[in-house]
């Protein structure tokens, strides 16, 4: 009987990363289950791409099916694709369990439900080594990993990201990721013959922007009391400086397209105000959050014969952009403030700690990935 592999993935890019990992390890012909614990109307959901992904998995002999269930109903494990229900202890055993993260709530739920012979943390996005941006989150991750490694129920637990923080990228595995993305690109273009006119311009991918509601809040008997604050983006001065520095080398009249994080869909008004203050007389457009970045690159920035516009951003989705745009991956750049003297160098790690740490992390892994893509291109 074919071995059973379970993948936790609610996004297109993490599913492609898992398929590439299985191919790199030589695992073919498995019973592959892709589990999502999120609602299926999110813009980055794999639901819209299930037929393409199933065909892609079938190229390696995998029998792929998708399990969609909300986190609060995860114990039921209802298979919406065939309106079936998993019943019995045997259905909760698998040979290999692939998770973006071991320490987050979704990963912990999967570890409690599935009995796996081997558990692998692949990393988020294309497989980026996890580095969290607050001391509390880092402490919680260390504690969670210690508990997982001490668990007697698991024979093997490994962290195996595609793009590590402080060591070179495995080129053969990266090549498999490029091959998987190229196959998906061909299938997507064939399925979407009428993509419509391509949108051109500099693309800026914004991270999730926090919009705190309180200066100070106390909760008592289920109610909140405290000092409310006017709606506004946290660290907006940092974002403004970073975007201005990234746009400075480009043509002043270059059209600007901005993709906001899906979780900021209700905050588009605040983001538009931030953009208007940056370019009051320039052309810019805030794109609707109805397509994942990978699809937007396929249909608007990476078309054959089209001009290659820069793709700029703040988070690990830049690494996905670099893979999808390869061999034009050097058009991907990190938005970070320009050096403005000792005061900024000293104050940003304290006043804008979260964004500063994100910048340090993404710069390191993006540089690592771009160097590896250069090596593959030179072969």
Q: Has residue 14 got a pLDDT over 80? A: yes
Tell whether 295 and 353 lie within a shared domain. yes
Tell whether 240 and 123 lie within a shared domain. no
In a domain, 214, yes or no: yes
Tell whether 184 and 211 lie within a shared domain. no
In a domain, 55, yes or no: yes
Which string of DSSP letters, residue by residue, matches 205-239? E--------EEEEEEETTEEEEEE--S--TTHHHH
Q: Has residue 43 got a pLDDT over 70? A: no
Last residue of a domain, one of 142, 166, 188: 188
CA dist., res. 348 & res. 354, Å (int): 9
Q: Which residue has the higher pLDDT, 225 or 206?
A: 206
The tens digit of pLDDT for each residue in 248-292 reads 888 877 888 899 988 888 899 999 888 887 765 567 888 877 777
In a domain, 194, yes or no: no
CA dist., res. 35 & res. 252, Å (int): 45
Tell whether 205 and 184 lie within a shared domain. no
Tell whether 293 and 356 lie within a shared domain. yes
Q: Which residue has the tokens 């690109």?
A: 185
In a domain, 193, yes or no: no
* Position 191 confidence tier, pLDDT thresholds 50, 70, 90: confident
Last residue of a domain, one of 163, 188, 213: 188
Which of these, 66, 60, 67, lies nearest to 19 by C-alpha position? Answer: 60
For residue 23, give the CATH number of its domain.
3.40.50
Helix (H, G, I), strand (E, B) or coil at 13: helix
| Host domain of residue 236 | 199-378
In a domain, 90, yes or no: yes
Tell whether 28 and 60 lie within a shared domain. yes
The tens digit of pLDDT for each residue in 161-185 reads 999 988 999 999 999 999 999 999 8
Last residue of a domain, one of 157, 188, 219: 188
Tell whether 211 and 174 lie within a shared domain. no
Average pLDDT over residues 51-61: 94
User: How many domains would you assign to the chain?
Assistant: 2
In a domain, 296, yes or no: yes
CA dist., res. 300 & res. 295, Å (int): 8
Average pLDDT over residues 149-156: 71
Average pLDDT over residues 46-57: 86
CA dist., res. 126 & res. 168, Å (int): 15
CA dist., res. 350 & res. 224, Å (int): 28
CA dist., res. 92 & res. 83, Å (int): 18
Tell whether 31 and 152 lie within a shared domain. yes
Q: Are 20 and 176 in contact (CB under 8 A)?
A: yes
Average pLDDT over residues 341-350: 76
Tell whether 93 and 8 lie within a shared domain. yes
| 130 DSSP 8-state letter | P
Helix (H, G, I), strand (E, B) or coil at 199: coil
Helices 236-247 and 268-278 cross at an angle (nearest 10°) of 50
Tell whether 166 and 240 lie within a shared domain. no
Arithmetic mean of pLDDT over the chain = 83
Which of these, 210, 229, 232, lies nearest to 354 by C-alpha position? Answer: 210
Q: Which residue has the higher pLDDT, 6 or 91?
A: 6
Residues belonging to the chain: 379
Q: From the CB of residue 99, how many other CB atoms can be counted at a distance below 10 Å?
A: 27
Q: Which two tokens stand for residue 222?
A: 């289920």
Q: Radius of gyration (Cα) for the chain, nearest Å? A: 21
Tell whether 219 and 170 lie within a shared domain. no
Measured CA distances, 221 to 97, 177, 186 (Å)? 41, 51, 56
Q: Are strands 156-159 and 115-121 parallel, antiparallel or unpaired?
A: parallel
The tens digit of pLDDT for each residue in 214-238 reads 777 788 777 877 778 888 898 888 9
Point out which residues pair with 6 in neighbouring strands.
33, 97
Q: Which two tokens stand for residue 375?
A: 């090596």
Tell whether 47 and 96 lie within a shared domain. yes
Reported pTM: 0.87
Average pLDDT over residues 79-95: 53
Q: From the CB of residue 232, how many other CB atoms can be counted at a distance below 10 Å?
A: 14
* Position 299 confidence tier, pLDDT thresholds 50, 70, 90: low
């Amino acid at each position: 009987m074919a071995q059973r592999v379970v993948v936790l993935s609610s996004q297109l890019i993490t599913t492609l990363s898992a398929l590439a990992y299985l191919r790199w390890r030589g695992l073919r012909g498995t019973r592959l289950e892709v589990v999502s614990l999120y609602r299926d109307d999110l813009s980055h959901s794999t639901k819209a791409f299930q037929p393409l992904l199933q065909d892609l998995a079938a190229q390696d002999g995998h029998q792929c099916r998708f399990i969609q269930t909300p986190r609060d109903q995860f114990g039921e494990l209802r298979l919406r694709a065939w309106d079936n229900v998993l019943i019995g202890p045997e259905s909760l055993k698998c040979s290999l369990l692939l998770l973006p993260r071991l320490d987050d709530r979704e990963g912990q739920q999967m570890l409690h439900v599935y009995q796996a012979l081997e558990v692998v943390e692949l990393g988020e996005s294309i497989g980026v080594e996890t580095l969290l941006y607050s001391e509390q989150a880092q402490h919680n991750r260390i504690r969670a990993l210690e508990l997982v490694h001490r668990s007697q129920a698991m024979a093997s637990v490994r962290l195996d990201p595609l793009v590590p923080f402080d060591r070179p990228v495995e080129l053969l595995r990266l090549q498999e990721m490029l091959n998987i993305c190229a196959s998906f690109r061909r299938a997507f273009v064939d399925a979407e013959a009428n993509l419509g006119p391509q949108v051109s311009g500099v693309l800026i991918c914004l991270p999730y922007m926090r919009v705190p509601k309180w200066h100070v809040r106390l909760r008592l008997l289920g109610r909140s009391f405290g000092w409310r604050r006017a709606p506004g983006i946290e660290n907006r001065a940092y974002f403004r400086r970073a975007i201005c520095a990234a746009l400075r080398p480009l043509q002043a009249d270059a059209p600007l397209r901005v993709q906001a994080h899906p979780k900021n869909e209700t905050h588009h008004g605040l983001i538009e105000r931030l953009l208007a203050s940056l370019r009051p007389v320039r052309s810019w457009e805030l794109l609707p959050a109805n397509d994942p970045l990978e699809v937007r690159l396929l249909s608007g920035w990476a078309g054959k014969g089209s001009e290659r516009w820069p793709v700029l951003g703040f988070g690990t989705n830049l690494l996905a952009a670099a893979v999808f745009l390869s061999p034009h991956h050097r058009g991907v750049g990190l938005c970070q403030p320009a050096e403005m003297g000792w005061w900024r160098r000293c104050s940003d790690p304290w006043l804008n700690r979260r964004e500063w740490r994100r910048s340090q992390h993404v710069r390191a892994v993006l540089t690592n990935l771009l160097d590896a893509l250069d090596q593959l291109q030179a072969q």
